[in-house]
Amino acid sequence: MNEKVWLVSFPRSGNTWMRFLLANLLYPDEDVNYISIDRFIPDIHQRENWSGVENPLIIKSHNIWRGEYSDSKIVYMYRDPRDVALSYYYFSQGSWSMGFKGTFDEYLKKRFILEGQYGRWNDHVNFWFGMVNKFALLYVKYEDLWWYPYGEMKKIIDFLSIKIEHIADIQIAINKSDFDELEKIRARDGVHLKKKGLQGRPGGWRENLTREQHDLIWEEFGETMEKLGYKK
């Protein structure tokens, strides 16, 4: 089997976007969509898709730690938790999830700041930033990937030792994975349809959070956020 690469993040931190970026780069002649993506870059629970991959085997995971991560390269994505909270709330309202029907304020206080399936946001991030000398590990900040996609993708390509025929293939993959393009594919495939969301852009929390909600997130996670360069 080819070398494993783990694409790890706390949920709603850009993991799916990164899967499309890498899949469109590695499989330029394929129709990469919300159904086929599991074949190109499978989830950790889709072991049936782990074989037959010609390129490095890249596997998506939200788990903080699993023994399978050992001796593998890891790309860790992180994102401003104020945007993560909102994105997670919109996602939680879908029929594919737990179907949370309350307000965002209720979601924030009753679910997001509490320890969920993948722990608390700051525990997840702090764990992986504490692993810097223990793994072949690359950190990718969602906001940097949004504003400087070419440069960030070049770092990832170099880290994973991915060979590409033409340097222009990087920009082609970025264009194919643009938010507007992904929304068209999502609508076509009828997968994970959402009535509302942040459209992927960083800083959406500024127009959506009340002062009380913002201060609650900062009180819980502010110390870690400051370390990562996020400002109050």
Enumerate the domain spans of the chain. Answer: 4-227
Contact 199, 86 (CB under 8 A): no
Confidence (pLDDT) at 115: 87
The C-alpha atoms of residue 109 and residue 107 are separated, in whole angstroms, by: 6
Map residue 200 onto helix, strand or coil. coil
pLDDT of residue 36: 92
Per-residue pLDDT at 20 = 97
pLDDT of residue 198: 57
Residue type, 144: D
Q: List average pLDDT for each run of 10 residues in the chain, which is 232 residues long.
A: 85 95 95 92 81 80 89 95 93 66 90 91 96 90 97 96 91 95 84 63 94 97 97 94
Residue 135 confidence (pLDDT): 84
Query: Residue 126: helix, strand or coil by DSSP?
Result: helix
Residue 205 tokens read as 């929390």
Three-state DSSP state, 79: coil
What pLDDT does 192 receive?
A: 63
pLDDT attached to residue 193: 58
Pairing of strands 4-9, 73-78: parallel
- Please work out, in degrees rounded to the nearest 5, the angle formed at the alpha carbon of residue 175 by the alpha carbons of 73 and 62: 35
- Give me the pLDDT at residue 196, please: 58
Please report where in the chains the tokens 């810097």 appear, as a residue.
132
Give me the pLDDT at residue 147, please.
Answer: 97
Tokens of 49: 């898709």
Give CATH for domain 4-227: 3.40.50.300
CA distance 97 to 93: 7
